[in-house]
Amino acid sequence: MTITLFGHKLDFLAALGFAIILTYVFLAIFAPLLAPFGEAEIVGDAWGPIDGAHWLGTDNLGRDLLSRLLYGGRVSIGLSIAITCLCFVIGVSSGLLAAVVGGWIDLVLCRLVDLMLSIPTLIFVFIILSGLGSDLYVLVVTIALIDSTKVFRLTRSVALGLVEMEFVDAARARGENFWWIMRAEILPNALSPLIAEFGLRFCFTFLFVAALSFLGLGVQPPNADWGSMVKDYADVINLGLLAPLLPAGAIALLTVGVNFVADWLLRLRDASQGAA
């Protein structure tokens, strides 16, 4: 059986990746309907056993672990998608601006990006958080901003190649305005590398937010995402319980899925470039 997507044959790993992503999206969207218990509802003793009512047992406060996982996934995935989208809005618009307008705007933006990339991302975010605290909006804006530097570089380099093309000259010659050129001439042609990049940036953001929460600097209680669940459950690994491995494994599996798909997209691009 072969499945095709956008006219390209899916290989096994890519199909697996898509299946994983769709499952996660489904679970995240319908979490409130699927979860047998409420997110913060205390239903039994701490670390209760696995039984018919509690498929994964209960957690450190006696809440249903499966329900916690479903709700935590909503937070993790929702937050990461929001950050990645914001990151693309900032990165793509500033990248296009730098490439199409050029001149001092380009220079200033490039230097700014160099400056932000001069220290490791994690350290940069630490520094911002130490001043402003782990407020949810601070987290979203800071991570989106620091991550948009990579989208900026990609968009700029792709767009720089496109501005030289004849169809852009033609659009300029027939007097189209700046916005038209950006939206109708450049963006559609820059789309395919940006889609693969979206997958990679999502992975990065997803892992990054989870790592921050794991360190206690991300999502703050009473909210919980998978990263903070790993932190909360970490102690019981020494008792032989698998609790911290469940949210950590959930994070790992989704990242693997997205990476399989992104890897496939990148190989498609390489193949089409090779043929051209």
Partner 1 sequence: MLIILGKKLVAAVLTLMAASVLIFAGTELLPGDLAGSILQNNATPETLAQLRLDLKLDQPATVRFMGWVEKLAHGDLGRSLTNDQDVATEIAPRLANTIFLATYAALVAVPLALGLGLITALYQGRWIDRIANVGSLMAISFPEYFLAYLLIKILAVDLGLLPSLANVAPDTELGPRLILTLLPMITLVLGTLAHMLRMTRTAVLSIMERPFIEMAILKGLPQWQIISRHALPNALAPIVSVIALNLGYLVVGVVVVETVFVYPGLGQLMVDAVGKHDVPVVQACGMIFATAFIGLNLLADMITIIANPRLRRQTQ
Residues 11-30, one symbol each (x = binds partner 1 by CB under 8 A, - = not), give --x-----------------
Residue whose token pair is 């994964």 = 56
DSSP structure string for 137-150: HHHHHHHHHHHHHH
H or E segment to which residue 8 belongs: strand 8-9
Q: How far is the CB of 155 from partner 1 (least distance, A)?
A: 23
Give whichever of 171 and 215 is closer to partner 1, judged by the CB atom: 215
Binding to partner 1 by residue 252, rule CB under 8 A?
Answer: yes
Q: Which of 105, 249, 271, 272 binds partner 1 (CB under 8 A)?
A: 249
Segment lying near partner 1 (by CB under 8 A), choices 63-71, 99-107, 171-179, 230-238: 230-238
Binding to partner 1 by residue 242, rule CB under 8 A?
Answer: yes
Binding to partner 1 by residue 107, rule CB under 8 A?
Answer: no
Give whichever of 121 and 189 is closer to partner 1, judged by the CB atom: 121
Give whichever of 42 and 236 is closer to partner 1, judged by the CB atom: 236
Binding to partner 1 by residue 244, rule CB under 8 A?
Answer: yes
Dihedral (CA of 260, 266, 268, 274) sign: negative
Strands (E), 20-71: none
C-alpha to C-alpha distance for 167 and 153, rounded to whole angstroms: 23
Residues 138-177, one symbol each (x = binds partner 1 by CB under 8 A, - = not), give ----------------------------------------
Number of H helices, E strands in the chain: 11, 2
C-alpha to C-alpha distance for 87 and 145, rounded to whole angstroms: 6
Q: What is the 3-state secondary structure of 199-225? A: HHHHHHHHHHHHHHHHCCCCCCCCCCC
Residue whose token pair is 């319908």 = 30
**Is residue 59 classed as helix, strand or coil in its secondary structure?**
coil
Segment lying near partner 1 (by CB under 8 A), choices 95-103, 153-161, 183-191, 202-210: 202-210
Q: Count Cβ atoms below 10 Å from residue 101 Cβ, excluding itself.
A: 14
Segment lying near partner 1 (by CB under 8 A), choices 41-49, 55-63, 122-130, 182-190: 122-130
Q: Which residues form the interface with partner 1 (CB under 8 A)?
A: 13, 114-116, 118-124, 126-133, 203, 207, 210-211, 214-217, 230, 234, 237-240, 242, 244-245, 248-249, 251-252, 255-256, 258-260, 263
